[in-house]
Amino acid sequence: MKKTVFAILAAVTVAAGSVATAPQAEARDGGAVAAGVLGGLAAGAIIGGAIANSPPAYAAPAPVYAAPPPAYVDGPPCQMVRERFWDGYGWRFRRVQVCD
């Protein structure tokens, strides 16, 4: 990534320097136009090569394999039991977990 940034900064610096010091274009100086076109192509090739050789922006994380939980239960087996209770107004039912 650093190489790409430095290549872009170098290309921008060169382009800014050539634009700042370039005189007005004239028809009798045909070599300047060709030099500008070739310089632009060269800068594009350098910047494109730097971008193409840069590492991808996102890399998927490696898969994680974990051992499955044990199929047996260490403690005593538990079960849900229906229980009747008095709530102050009448008898009601609720489910309660009971472990032996």
Is 60 inside a domain boundary?
Answer: no
In a domain, 30, yes or no: yes
Q: How far is CA 38 from CA 35, 61, 62, in A?
A: 5, 43, 45
What domain range is 12 assigned to? 2-52
Strands (E), the chain: 78-86, 91-99
Q: At what angle do helices 2-21 and 30-52 cross, to 10 degrees?
A: 170
68: left (phi over 0), alpha (psi -120 to 50) or beta: beta
Q: Give the C-alpha separation, 46 to 12, whole Å.
A: 12
Domain contains 68: no
Per the structure, how many domains does the chain have? 1
Residue 95 lies in a domain: no
Long-range contact set of residues 63-69: C-beta below 8 Å, sequence gap at least 24: none
Q: 65 near 52, Cβ under 8 Å?
A: no
- Amino acid 23: pLDDT: 65
pTM of the predicted model, to two decimals? 0.30
The answer to whether position 42 is within a domain reads: yes
In a domain, 10, yes or no: yes
Domain assignment present for residue 19? The answer is yes
70 inside domain: no
Query: Tens-of-pLDDT digits for all 100 residues of the chain?
Result: 777 877 787 777 777 666 556 566 666 656 777 778 888 888 988 988 888 887 777 778 888 888 877 776 666 678 899 999 999 999 999 999 988 7
